Amino acid sequence: MRADRPVAAVVLAAGEGKRMRSRLPKVLHPVGGRAMVLRVLDSLRPVVPGPVVVVVGHGAEAVRAALPAGVRVAWQDAPRGTGHAVCCALPELADHAGPVLVAYGDTPLVREETFRAVVSAHLRGGCAATLLTTVVDDPQGLGRVVRGLEGEFVGVVEDADCTPEERRIREVYTGVGCFESEALREALTHLVADNAQGEYYLTGVFGWLRARGAKVGIVRATEGREVMGVNSRRELAQAEAELRRRTLERLMDSGVTVVDPATTYVAPDVVVGQDTVLLPFTVLEAGTTVGSECTLGPGVHVWGSRIGDRVRVLWSVVEHSEVGDDCRIGPYAHLRPGTRLARRVVVGNFAEIKNSTVGEGTKVQHVSYLGDATVGREVNIGAGTVTCNFRYGVPGKHPTVIEDGAFIGSDTMLNAPVRVGAGAVTGAGSVVTKDVPAGAVVVGVPARVVRRVPQGGEGS
């Protein structure tokens, strides 16, 4: 049997998940910020070069809409068991003659390496089917794997059908299996629903094949947590905690200091540079990249953002923004989407910036708001400054431009659209309604020019 044959996959995602008590289909509940079924597909895809079929049922349209392009979809019209679900997928694999890997859509912690181990063992062993098992402390509710005297596979017995002796078995079937497509198709036609649930179990395929002398292989997962299914909110929290543990351990092994893992959350796709320190109550969500030698926290929440090297962020929120090297942010600052900070920018207490570009070395002092602004280099934004980017009755947001070296006094209101020229100064409490020439000093309500700062100095 060739070991390089293309593999297809079937992911079972039709379950209602009644114990979740949710309007959202079970497999769409997120773990690590990503729907469970998508995490399964993420791990599966590098191992499966052939077609992938997701079997949907409850909440089919929502599940279908969440799936990536290229994934085939099969419909299970009623919950008649895992064997019936795989039968529903077979028409989508009519053009496939190689092995078929089957997985559950509610097992988001299975690693790519584990799927690869099952497929490799199946191909090397020349098996008709290969199943993934694990040993758990409490096997209640799970199918027991029965072995012979020499450790060979005998069968899988569902929990509801176990004898008292079989209930004491701690090795269980995980739901992951690899099958020769021809053997799978034939075996599925012989499944019967002679069990306590009256359903067609995929586990019956293993027993049917063995009874006819076919070889059934076993691969045992070393960690039961990896193959845990998520069927309730409690199990969802357990899966979340396990994924967080993996992520933080990976970061710590790469040179990141996590002061208190119990109070630190980092999404699995987040990248953090060497010698960065994550303090308690730091949350880094999907799409975030953090450079080296940063200190984040305590109390920092970042998502969808890029943070440069040697950045300090304290008790602040950063969303869909770019922060240059050597910036200082917080405490209690908020960078909203579209914010771009160059190097050495300081954003102080209770400052808020939205959809704005701030030049190198600029200081945005406390209790200030910059919205839809372009700010140059080495600008001082005094405390209480506001860019008034919205006018009553005028649609859209209006821009403010502050050129290099300007000094914006405390409590200045910049009534956009407006431009403050290079080196200009606004007095405290000014309301700027017109463009300020370069080097001018303006004060008052509305602000008016009172003098000009000579080029190359502040004047007298």
Q: How many domains does the chain have?
A: 2
First to last CA, the chain: 91
Residue 458 has pLDDT above 60, yes or no: no
Q: Are residues 218 and 304 in the same domain?
A: no
Q: How many Å apart are CA 375 and CA 340, to the nearest integer?
A: 10
Residues 223 and 303 in one domain: no
- For the stretch 355-384, pLDDT in tens is 999 999 999 989 999 999 999 999 999 999
In a domain, 144, yes or no: yes
Q: State the Cα–Cα distance between residues 180 and 127, nearest whole angstrom.
A: 8
Do residue 110 and residue 146 come from a single domain?
A: yes
Question: Residue 232 domain-assigned?
Answer: no
- Does residue 2 surpass a pLDDT of 70? no
251 contacts 258 by C-beta, under 8 angstroms: yes
At residue 197, the pLDDT reads: 77
pLDDT of residue 454: 67
* The pLDDT of residue 452: 84
- Establish if 240 belongs to a structural domain: no
Q: Is the pLDDT of residue 449 over 50?
A: yes
Answer whether residue 274 is part of any domain: yes
Same domain, 282 and 379: yes
- pLDDT of res. 1: 45
Helix (H) or strand (E) holding 52: strand 52-56
How many whole angstroms separate alpha carbon 105 and alpha carbon 111? Answer: 13
Assess whether 403 and 436 both reside in one domain.
yes
- Which one has a higher pLDDT value, 69 or 198? 69
pLDDT band at 5 (very low <50, low <70, confident <90, very high): confident
Residues of the chain above pLDDT 90, percent: 88
Cα separation, 292 vs 272, whole angstroms: 7
What is the structure's pLDDT at 393? 72
Question: Is 428 contained in some domain?
Answer: yes
Helix residue ranges per DSSP H, 7-81: 36-44, 60-66
Q: Are residues 407 and 259 in the same domain?
A: yes
Residue 320 φ/ψ, nearest 5 degrees: 45, 55
- When pLDDT is averaged across residues 423-431 and rounded to a whole number, the result is 97
4: confidence class by pLDDT, cuts 50, 70, 90: low
Task: Confirm whether 366 is a catalytic residue.
Answer: yes
pTM summary value: 0.88
Residues 79 and 201 both lie in one domain: yes
Taking alpha carbons only, the member of 116, 125, 150 closest to residue 217 is 125
Query: Does the structure show a pLDDT above 60 at 3?
Result: no
CA distances from 448 to 384, 389, 403, 421 (A): 20, 20, 18, 14
- Please list the residues that pair with 217 across neighbouring strands: 130
pLDDT band at 332 (very low <50, low <70, confident <90, very high): very high
Based on the fold, state whether residues 321 and 395 are members of the same structural domain.
yes
pLDDT in tens, 220-245: 998 889 999 999 999 999 999 999 99
Q: What is the CATH number of the domain that holds 436?
A: 2.160.10.10
- Domain final residue, candidates 192, 227, 262: 227
Residue 459 clears pLDDT 80, i.e. is over it: no
Task: Decide if pLDDT at 457 tops 60.
Answer: no
Partner residues linked to 443 by β-bridges: 448
User: What count of other Cβ atoms lies within 10 Å of the Cβ of residue 347?
Assistant: 30
Q: Within a domain: residue 233? A: no
Q: Of 165, 200, 227, which residue constitutes the final position of a domain?
A: 227
Taking residues 407-427, what's their average pLDDT?
Answer: 97
Same domain for 277 and 137:
no
* 433 and 372 in a common domain: yes
Claim to verify: residue 256 and residue 193 sit in the same structural domain:
no
One domain, residues 260 and 115: no
- In a domain, residue 1? The reply is no
Please indicate, yes or no, if residue 241 is contained in any of the structural domains: no
Q: What is the pLDDT of residue 194?
A: 76
Boundaries of domain holding 306: 246-452
pLDDT for res 396: 83
Instruction: Report the CATH number that the domain containing residue 179 is assigned in CATH.
Output: 3.90.550.10
Q: Please compute the mean of the pLDDT values over residues 88-99 and round it to a whole number.
A: 95
pLDDT digits (tens, 9 = 90+) for 23-38: 999 999 999 999 999 9
Provide the mean pLDDT of the chain. Answer: 94
Q: What is the pLDDT of residues 31-78, one digit of tens each?
A: 999 999 999 999 999 999 999 999 999 999 999 999 999 999 999 998
Q: How confident is the model at residue 455 (pLDDT cuts 50, 70, 90)?
A: low
Judged against a pLDDT cut of 60, whether residue 117 lies above it is answered with yes
Tell me the pLDDT band of 394, cut-offs 50, 70 and 90: confident
In 3-state terms, what secondary structure has residue 407? strand
* Residue of 96, 320, 366, 398 marked active site: 366
Residue 460: pLDDT above 50? no
% helix, strand, coil for the chain, step of 5:
20, 30, 50
